[in-house]
A and B are shown apart, each in its own frame.
Chain A
Amino acid sequence: MTRFLLAPARALVLVVFAVVGSAVALVLVTLLALIVTYPMTVVVARRLAELGRRLAQAWGGVAIDEVRLPVPAQPVRRADGWYEHDNQLYRSARVPAFMLKVEAYSKDATAIRDWIWLVATPVTGGLAAALSPLLVGAGVALAAGWLLPGLPTAVAIGAGIAVVVAGFAVGPAVLRVYGLWTRELLQPAHRSWWRRSGFGPWLGRAMKRTWNGAGLAGMALGALGLLALQLVFAVVSWGGLYPQAVQITRPYLDYYRRRAADWTGREYPQPYRPLPAPPLPDETGKYRAGRTLYQTQEAAVRAQRYGWIFTDPATWRDLLWIVLGVPVSVAGFLPALLVGFGLYGLVWQPIVWAPWGIPVGLATGEWVTPWYMGYLFAAVAPPLAAIPGWVTPFLGVVMTGAGLLLAGPLLRLRGAFDRLLLTPTRSTLLAQRVRRLSETRADAVDAQAAELRRIERDLHDGAQARLVSLGLSLATAEQLMERDPEAAKKLLAQARETSATALAELRNLVRGIHPPVLAERGLGDAVRAVALDSPLPADVTVDVPGRLPAPVESAAYFATVEALANAVRHSGAARVRVDIRYDAGASASGVLRITVTDDGRGGADPARGTGLRGVQRRLGTFDGTLSIESPVGGPTVLTMEIPCVLSSPRTSTS
């Protein structure tokens, strides 16, 4: 009973609180301009929100979990008495403390929700709460004869009482609505309907697609300028400077490809042929480019460049893309236009229209349409003028929704069109592949030759020499056997030692060529065996169902060993983790992925160490790749990937 009796008063308090809170929030927003006050504004907003949360709980009966502001880290005093923040030193802790606070708060998603709640409550939860006191007030006014004075007194009093009772009756319900609205915004974000229903995230993605589509369309239309530039260059210089114009166009389109790859999640590889190597003089001392001989190398290079530009289909496909892309780009703007226009009509126009449209309407009796550019539309199509102004917000919702829904399909269309013309043709792909293969083949042949030379040298200086000395010792011992058995015995012992040394050397050599444990157990156990011998503690996890092709296994093994050795030599790490797994993947061949992670100091650069470059070359032969992520301060993560197929455990002889 008291619940009903108190409800209108409580609702009134909430309405006043909502209006005051909203006003305070607007003041706080202005204060944001003074950067210094930022943490204070966040805290004040949170206090107000906290009060709202408690009121919603106490009066609206809606339990809301508390959300806390993150606790900012404290600046740490260095040994030299200074305070460091973001590589900058400060005398006192004040500035770093402030910055840490700003960082912590600005990264906190709940802070922004406080603001939204404060600003929006008067027109949402607050508006709902207002219903109860309004009804009570209206009832009293009716009964007192202030409202509708023409009514007979008995009727007015009767109706007034009925309305007052209604005001009390709806009280708890409107308080609950206020509570629900407050809960939606002030509870932990992951629990909100907005997030859980997937609507909020979808809206975010659709918005991104909308603006990304417009961005790509804008960039594609911008390329028209480059088309014009090419035309000007071609005409003015009679084609002489045309290659230069093309070379200006290409980086722009490459930038477009990267953006498109980021925004559509598809690959847009470069289609251009590589620049040919400059020609070398032939036996007559002239330089050949195509079918023409040139006196100087510069002239030949220039001629070569023409051939390179003009015969590359990518040059003409780029142009075709620029021209044919115009309608696609125009369509690509559509979602952004719809959303922009819709949001304008939905949110902005009613707000702006209200302060002048209503007074004008009241004063002159002529209601101006709140339509954005409504007169323009009406002038173009007179029937549109008949549409009443109040539909504007609803029209806004429809347009925004249509724009958001269109964004995805249009972006996909754009992606399909771009892939058609901006990515390499089959023949270019083959050319690129051939080039890569010849590079890696040369590497492989070089590496193999070097390896054979090393083995030859090791055998020549090691085991072979020892066997010679062994034979010599035995021969001498044979001779001495009769005359000096003691000396012969000594020689024999020496011979045995030599044979042991030779064996040890052969063992090391074999380990370097193809470690026996690799042949016997495969990659996983071979790496485990190396990890056991490593001076650094190393954890090895292996998930490879079956056996890899022997050459891949060997390359992967030596690459991993090199990576481990690098971690031991350079990283200063205390622990290394090796993870070997085979990803069957969707395509015909899977991928062997090896990651070597150490907790060392980082900063590894493949350009500096010959070891890592060797690994890259070794993997390159198998179309494998090596990537290094090594921020200064660590950790270093080395990822090696080799595409290959698995076989079942091997049973043939090795």
Chain B
Amino acid sequence: MRVVVAEDLYLLRDGLVRLLEAHGMQVVAAVESGPELRQALIGLRPDVSVVDVRLPPTFTDEGLQAALAARREIPGLPVLVLSQYVEQLYARELLADGTGGVGYLLKDRVVNAEQFIDAVRRVAAGGTAMDPEVIAKLLATDAVAKPLGRLTPRERDVLELMAEGRSNAAIAQRLFLSESAVGKHIASIFNKLELVPSDDDNRRVLAVLAYLNQ
């Protein structure tokens, strides 16, 4: 798997490269600024890229902008965005084009290497990986809470994990349920939220977020 890494702090960049390579991925470019990232994304077309939001030269959301620009040019180009903090606003922008293959995680999540690598793979495969903090914020909003009030606590747990981008199997494992029980919960959620069910991980999340976004 060919990966592009964009991170301006040397220590973190080095750590990321080593972590990814340790899991059998090939880092084709490790860049430290927005323009370089744009070039690498469009020139190298990596299978997935791990991008820091804030990059030189402006130290604003240069990384996010480069990723969004590249995805406009190459729809569905898998991008996993990392940041010191998460904003619903950015999550919505990433998900807006509806082509999937996006992730948005707190930098802290790198500490849990397995989960992080899992997220990288999921994004590379065209799925999504949303940070639980984003999901929590989305669900906390009052406008959303009302229709979600119809869900049982268990269904809510399932929905949260679903929104993070987890597969049925992963949800089953996390909640100590059988996979078929998870399937039933999901069908019930879609039913209550009046959404058409689908097998596709990515479309599932998009449907959930589209619903939350309304």
Which residues of A approach B to under 8 Å, CB–CB?
496, 499-500, 503-504, 507, 510-511, 516-517, 519-521, 525, 528-529, 532-537, 650-651, 653-654
B211 proximity list for chain A (CB < 8 A): none
Q: Does B140 contact A (CB under 8 A)?
A: yes
For residue A496, which residue of chain B has the nearest CB?
A: B111
Q: Is B59 touching A525 in the complex (CB atoms < 8 A)?
A: no
Cα-based distance from A500 to B60 in the complex (angstroms)? 24
| Interface positions of B from 131 to 160, Cβ below 8 Å from A | 137, 140-143
Closest 5 CB pairs of A and B: A520-B61, A520-B60, A532-B88, A529-B89, A535-B142
Among B60, B61, B84, B88, chain A packs the most CB atoms within 10 A around the CB of B60
Cα-based distance from A500 to B110 in the complex (angstroms)? 11
For residue A521, which residue of chain B has the nearest CB?
A: B61
> Nearest-CB distance from B20 to chain A (Å)?
20
Q: Is B140 touching A535 in the complex (CB atoms < 8 A)?
A: yes
B54 proximity list for chain A (CB < 8 A): 516, 520
Q: Is B88 touching A529 in the complex (CB atoms < 8 A)?
A: yes
A536 proximity list for chain B (CB < 8 A): 142
Given A499-B111, A510-B85, A520-B54: A532 and B61 interface contact (C-beta under 8 Å):
no
Q: A503-B108, A532-B89 are in contact. List 6 more A-B contacts (CB 8 A).
A: A511-B85, A519-B60, A533-B88, A650-B60, A651-B57, A653-B56
Cα-based distance from A339 to B102 in the complex (angstroms)? 78
Q: Can you report 20 residue pairs joining A to B where beta carbons are below 8 Å apart?
A: A499-B111, A511-B85, A517-B89, A520-B54, A520-B60, A520-B61, A521-B60, A521-B89, A525-B89, A529-B89, A532-B88, A532-B89, A533-B141, A535-B140, A535-B141, A535-B142, A537-B141, A537-B143, A651-B57, A653-B58
Q: Does B118 contact A (CB under 8 A)?
A: no
Contact residues on B (Cβ < 8 Å of other chain), bracket: 20 to 34
Cα-based distance from A533 to B88 in the complex (angstroms)? 7
Q: Is B142 touching A651 in the complex (CB atoms < 8 A)?
A: no
A504 proximity list for chain B (CB < 8 A): 108
Q: Is A500 touching B111 in the complex (CB atoms < 8 A)?
A: yes
B88 proximity list for chain A (CB < 8 A): 529, 532-533
Q: Is B111 touching A533 in the complex (CB atoms < 8 A)?
A: no
Cα-based distance from A654 to B137 in the complex (angstroms)? 27
> Nearest-CB distance from A395 to chain B (Å)?
72
Cα-based distance from A507 to B107 in the complex (angstroms)? 11
Given A499-B111, A520-B54: A533 and B137 interface contact (C-beta under 8 Å):
yes
**Which of A496, A507, A521 is in CB contact (< 8 Å) with B85?**
A507
Q: Does B53 contact A (CB under 8 A)?
A: yes
Q: Does B87 contact A (CB under 8 A)?
A: yes
A535 proximity list for chain B (CB < 8 A): 140-142
B83 proximity list for chain A (CB < 8 A): 516
Q: Is A529 touching B111 in the complex (CB atoms < 8 A)?
A: no
For residue A507, which residue of chain B has the nearest CB?
A: B85
For residue A522, which residue of chain B has the nearest CB?
A: B60
| Interface positions of B from 120 to 134, Cβ below 8 Å from A | none
**Which of A496, A499, A517, A534 is in CB contact (< 8 Å) with B87?**
A517
> Nearest-CB distance from A45 to chain B (Å)?
53
> Nearest-CB distance from A567 to chain B (Å)?
12
Given A496-B111, A499-B111, A537-B142: A529 and B87 interface contact (C-beta under 8 Å):
yes
Cα-based distance from A67 to B58 in the complex (angstroms)? 65
Q: Is A534 touching B141 in the complex (CB atoms < 8 A)?
A: yes
> Nearest-CB distance from B60 to chain A (Å)?
4
